[in-house]
Amino acid sequence: MQESKEKRKLPREFYTRHDILVIARELLGKLLVVPAADGSRVSGFIVETEAYIAPEDKASHAYNFRRTQRNESSYSIGGAVYVFFIYGMYFQFNVVTNVIDVPHVVLIRALEPFEGVEIMRERRKTANDKNLTSGPGKLCIALGIDRNLNNEDLLGEKIWIEESDFKVSGKNVMSGKRIGIDYAEEFAEKPWRFWVKDNLFVSRR
DNA sequence: CGCAGGATGGGCT
DNA sequence: GCCCATCCTGCGG
Protein backbone atom coordinates (compact mmCIF):
# COMPACT_ATOMS: atom_id res chain seq x y z
CA MET A 1 0.00 0.00 0.00
CA GLN A 2 2.70 2.41 1.04
CA GLU A 3 4.65 1.40 -2.04
CA SER A 4 1.85 2.04 -4.50
CA LYS A 5 1.32 5.48 -2.99
CA GLU A 6 4.98 6.28 -3.47
CA LYS A 7 4.74 5.31 -7.10
CA ARG A 8 2.01 7.84 -7.68
CA LYS A 9 4.09 10.74 -6.35
CA LEU A 10 5.33 12.76 -9.33
CA PRO A 11 9.05 12.17 -9.96
CA ARG A 12 11.77 14.78 -10.07
CA GLU A 13 11.83 14.53 -13.86
CA PHE A 14 8.28 15.85 -14.07
CA TYR A 15 9.41 19.15 -12.58
CA THR A 16 12.87 19.63 -14.04
CA ARG A 17 11.66 19.74 -17.66
CA HIS A 18 12.32 23.03 -19.39
CA ASP A 19 8.90 23.79 -20.90
CA ILE A 20 6.95 25.31 -18.03
CA LEU A 21 3.80 25.79 -20.14
CA VAL A 22 3.64 22.03 -20.67
CA ILE A 23 4.09 21.47 -16.94
CA ALA A 24 1.44 24.07 -16.04
CA ARG A 25 -1.07 22.26 -18.29
CA GLU A 26 -0.09 18.79 -17.10
CA LEU A 27 -0.52 19.78 -13.44
CA LEU A 28 -4.27 20.09 -14.08
CA GLY A 29 -5.95 17.03 -12.59
CA LYS A 30 -2.98 16.09 -10.39
CA LEU A 31 -3.58 15.68 -6.64
CA LEU A 32 -1.94 18.09 -4.17
CA VAL A 33 -1.54 16.43 -0.76
CA VAL A 34 -0.62 17.90 2.64
CA PRO A 35 -0.81 15.62 5.70
CA ALA A 36 -2.68 17.12 8.66
CA ALA A 37 -1.31 17.10 12.22
CA ASP A 38 -3.05 13.79 12.93
CA GLY A 39 -1.44 12.21 9.87
CA SER A 40 -4.61 12.14 7.79
CA ARG A 41 -4.54 13.42 4.24
CA VAL A 42 -5.90 16.77 3.13
CA SER A 43 -5.89 16.99 -0.65
CA GLY A 44 -7.44 18.41 -3.77
CA PHE A 45 -7.24 18.08 -7.53
CA ILE A 46 -5.46 20.98 -9.24
CA VAL A 47 -7.92 22.76 -11.54
CA GLU A 48 -6.26 26.14 -12.18
CA THR A 49 -2.60 27.17 -12.67
CA GLU A 50 -0.52 30.11 -13.86
CA ALA A 51 3.04 30.12 -15.21
CA TYR A 52 5.55 32.82 -14.19
CA ILE A 53 8.50 32.73 -16.52
CA ALA A 54 11.45 34.81 -15.37
CA PRO A 55 13.80 36.39 -16.22
CA GLU A 56 11.75 37.88 -19.13
CA ASP A 57 8.35 37.91 -17.42
CA LYS A 58 7.60 41.31 -15.90
CA ALA A 59 4.87 39.77 -13.71
CA SER A 60 7.39 37.50 -11.97
CA HIS A 61 9.01 38.26 -8.63
CA ALA A 62 12.22 37.07 -10.31
CA TYR A 63 11.92 39.40 -13.31
CA ASN A 64 15.35 40.22 -14.71
CA PHE A 65 16.83 37.66 -12.27
CA ARG A 66 15.89 39.78 -9.28
CA ARG A 67 17.01 37.69 -6.35
CA THR A 68 15.97 38.44 -2.78
CA GLN A 69 15.46 36.60 0.46
CA ARG A 70 11.76 36.42 -0.33
CA ASN A 71 12.05 34.77 -3.76
CA GLU A 72 15.20 32.73 -3.15
CA SER A 73 13.37 29.39 -3.21
CA SER A 74 12.11 30.06 -6.73
CA TYR A 75 15.74 29.53 -7.84
CA SER A 76 15.80 26.01 -6.36
CA ILE A 77 15.65 22.82 -8.44
CA GLY A 78 12.36 21.81 -10.08
CA GLY A 79 10.13 20.14 -7.49
CA ALA A 80 10.82 22.72 -4.79
CA VAL A 81 8.03 24.72 -3.14
CA TYR A 82 7.85 28.52 -3.35
CA VAL A 83 5.45 30.02 -0.79
CA PHE A 84 5.13 33.75 -0.32
CA PHE A 85 3.03 36.07 1.85
CA ILE A 86 0.79 38.63 0.16
CA TYR A 87 -1.72 41.38 1.02
CA GLY A 88 -0.78 41.16 4.69
CA MET A 89 -3.03 38.14 5.16
CA TYR A 90 -2.54 35.40 2.62
CA PHE A 91 -0.06 32.87 1.34
CA GLN A 92 0.34 31.63 -2.22
CA PHE A 93 1.66 28.23 -3.21
CA ASN A 94 3.92 27.78 -6.23
CA VAL A 95 5.63 24.77 -7.81
CA VAL A 96 9.21 25.47 -8.90
CA THR A 97 10.16 23.99 -12.30
CA ASN A 98 13.28 23.67 -14.47
CA VAL A 99 16.86 23.40 -13.19
CA ILE A 100 18.65 25.27 -10.42
CA ASP A 101 18.91 29.04 -10.97
CA VAL A 102 16.13 29.16 -13.57
CA PRO A 103 13.28 30.78 -11.59
CA HIS A 104 10.26 29.29 -13.39
CA VAL A 105 7.26 28.75 -11.10
CA VAL A 106 3.67 27.57 -11.48
CA LEU A 107 1.18 29.26 -9.17
CA ILE A 108 -1.58 26.89 -8.05
CA ARG A 109 -4.75 29.00 -8.16
CA ALA A 110 -7.52 26.51 -7.37
CA LEU A 111 -8.24 22.95 -6.28
CA GLU A 112 -11.27 20.69 -6.27
CA PRO A 113 -11.42 19.33 -2.69
CA PHE A 114 -10.89 15.56 -2.37
CA GLU A 115 -9.70 14.24 1.01
CA GLY A 116 -10.01 15.90 4.43
CA VAL A 117 -12.95 18.10 3.49
CA GLU A 118 -14.08 18.34 7.13
CA ILE A 119 -10.67 19.70 8.14
CA MET A 120 -10.90 22.22 5.28
CA ARG A 121 -14.30 23.40 6.52
CA GLU A 122 -12.92 23.99 10.02
CA ARG A 123 -9.95 25.94 8.71
CA ARG A 124 -11.91 28.00 6.21
CA LYS A 125 -14.92 28.70 8.44
CA THR A 126 -17.22 28.94 5.46
CA ALA A 127 -20.70 27.56 5.02
CA ASN A 128 -20.28 27.11 1.29
CA ASP A 129 -18.03 24.27 0.13
CA LYS A 130 -17.50 26.05 -3.17
CA ASN A 131 -15.36 28.55 -1.24
CA LEU A 132 -13.02 25.99 0.33
CA THR A 133 -10.26 26.03 -2.28
CA SER A 134 -11.48 28.25 -5.14
CA GLY A 135 -8.58 30.72 -5.05
CA PRO A 136 -4.84 30.82 -4.34
CA GLY A 137 -5.19 32.24 -0.83
CA LYS A 138 -8.16 30.06 0.07
CA LEU A 139 -6.47 26.80 -0.87
CA CYS A 140 -3.46 27.61 1.30
CA ILE A 141 -5.73 28.09 4.31
CA ALA A 142 -7.66 24.89 3.54
CA LEU A 143 -4.52 22.77 3.19
CA GLY A 144 -2.53 24.49 5.94
CA ILE A 145 0.15 25.86 3.62
CA ASP A 146 2.21 28.72 5.06
CA ARG A 147 5.78 30.02 5.20
CA ASN A 148 6.93 26.87 7.01
CA LEU A 149 6.61 24.98 3.72
CA ASN A 150 8.66 27.47 1.72
CA ASN A 151 11.56 25.70 -0.04
CA GLU A 152 10.34 22.25 0.99
CA ASP A 153 10.73 19.52 -1.63
CA LEU A 154 7.69 17.98 -3.32
CA LEU A 155 9.52 14.65 -3.19
CA GLY A 156 9.58 14.84 0.61
CA GLU A 157 6.97 13.97 3.22
CA LYS A 158 5.50 17.36 4.18
CA ILE A 159 3.76 18.18 0.91
CA TRP A 160 3.65 16.50 -2.48
CA ILE A 161 1.76 16.04 -5.74
CA GLU A 162 0.43 12.70 -6.98
CA GLU A 163 -0.80 11.20 -10.21
CA SER A 164 -4.58 10.81 -10.08
CA ASP A 165 -7.59 9.38 -11.88
CA PHE A 166 -8.94 12.88 -12.50
CA LYS A 167 -8.14 12.88 -16.20
CA VAL A 168 -8.17 16.20 -18.05
CA SER A 169 -8.35 15.84 -21.81
CA GLY A 170 -6.83 18.43 -24.08
CA LYS A 171 -10.19 19.82 -25.11
CA ASN A 172 -11.03 20.50 -21.46
CA VAL A 173 -7.97 22.67 -20.90
CA MET A 174 -8.73 26.38 -21.25
CA SER A 175 -6.17 29.19 -21.23
CA GLY A 176 -6.19 32.95 -20.88
CA LYS A 177 -4.47 35.95 -19.34
CA ARG A 178 -3.27 35.78 -15.76
CA ILE A 179 -5.12 37.38 -12.85
CA GLY A 180 -4.06 40.46 -10.92
CA ILE A 181 -0.94 41.47 -12.85
CA ASP A 182 -2.15 44.41 -14.94
CA TYR A 183 1.09 46.26 -14.15
CA ALA A 184 3.15 43.74 -16.15
CA GLU A 185 2.83 45.64 -19.46
CA GLU A 186 3.06 43.35 -22.51
CA PHE A 187 3.31 40.30 -20.22
CA ALA A 188 -0.11 41.03 -18.72
CA GLU A 189 -1.66 39.69 -21.94
CA LYS A 190 0.22 36.40 -22.16
CA PRO A 191 -2.16 33.40 -22.07
CA TRP A 192 -0.24 31.68 -19.29
CA ARG A 193 -3.23 30.86 -17.08
CA PHE A 194 -4.72 27.37 -17.48
CA TRP A 195 -7.90 25.89 -16.05
CA VAL A 196 -10.24 22.93 -16.33
CA LYS A 197 -13.24 23.86 -18.47
CA ASP A 198 -16.49 24.28 -16.51
CA ASN A 199 -14.94 23.21 -13.21
CA LEU A 200 -16.87 24.69 -10.27
CA PHE A 201 -13.75 25.55 -8.27
CA VAL A 202 -11.90 27.68 -10.81
CA SER A 203 -11.39 31.09 -9.19
CA ARG A 204 -12.93 33.22 -11.97
CA ARG A 205 -15.29 32.02 -14.67
C1' DC B 1 -26.10 39.70 -9.20
C1' DG B 2 -21.91 43.23 -9.45
C1' DC B 3 -18.81 46.34 -7.51
C1' DA B 4 -16.30 49.30 -3.98
C1' DG B 5 -13.69 49.39 -0.12
C1' DG B 6 -11.33 47.67 3.92
C1' DA B 7 -8.27 44.38 6.24
C1' DT B 8 -3.32 43.94 7.12
C1' DG B 9 1.97 43.58 6.92
C1' DG B 10 6.20 42.58 4.54
C1' DG B 11 9.01 43.62 0.48
C1' DC B 12 11.07 46.66 -2.39
C1' DT B 13 11.76 51.29 -5.24
C1' DG C 1 5.86 55.28 1.50
C1' DC C 2 3.68 52.59 -1.88
C1' DC C 3 2.55 48.31 -3.86
C1' DC C 4 0.77 44.15 -3.97
C1' DA C 5 0.20 36.85 -8.20
C1' DT C 6 -6.37 38.23 -2.35
C1' DC C 7 -10.64 37.65 0.18
C1' DC C 8 -14.77 39.11 2.37
C1' DT C 9 -18.53 42.11 3.44
C1' DG C 10 -21.96 45.26 2.56
C1' DC C 11 -24.53 48.01 -0.39
C1' DG C 12 -27.24 49.11 -4.53
C1' DG C 13 -30.10 47.53 -8.36
Distance CA A40, CA A201 (A): 23
pLDDT band at A30; cut points 50, 70, 90:
very high
Nucleotide nearest to A69 in CA–C1' terms: B11
Give the model confidence (pLDDT) of A70-94 as tens digits.
999 999 999 999 999 999 999 999 9
pLDDT band at A126; cut points 50, 70, 90:
confident
pLDDT for position A106: 98
List helix spans (H) across chain A: 2-8, 12-15, 20-26, 117-124, 136-143
The whole-model pTM stands at 0.95
Select from A146, A142, A118 the least CA-distant residue to A132.
A142
Give the model confidence (pLDDT) of A131-188 as tens digits.
999 999 999 999 999 999 999 999 999 999 999 999 999 999 999 999 999 999 999 9
A20 and A104 Cβ atoms separated by less than 8 Å = yes
pLDDT for position A204: 84
Nucleotide nearest to A108 in CA–C1' terms: C5
Count of beta carbons in the 10 Å neighbourhood of residue A76 = 19
A59 and A50 Cβ atoms separated by less than 8 Å = no
The residues with which A122 forms a beta bridge, in sequence order, are none
Distance in Å, residue A1 CA to nucleotide B10 C1': 43
Distance CA A73, CA A40 (A): 27
Query: Looking at residues A188-196, what average pLDDT do you find?
Result: 96
Does residue A3 carry a pLDDT above 60?
Answer: no
Distance in Å, residue A86 CA to nucleotide C4 C1': 7
- Average pLDDT over chain A reads 95
pLDDT for position A40: 96
Does residue A127 carry a pLDDT above 90?
Answer: no
Select from A75, A38, A1, A49 the least CA-distant residue to A161.
A49
A4 touches strand B (CB under 7 A): no
Name the protein residue, with chain letter, whose CA is nearest the C1' of B9.
Answer: A88
pLDDT band at A6; cut points 50, 70, 90:
low
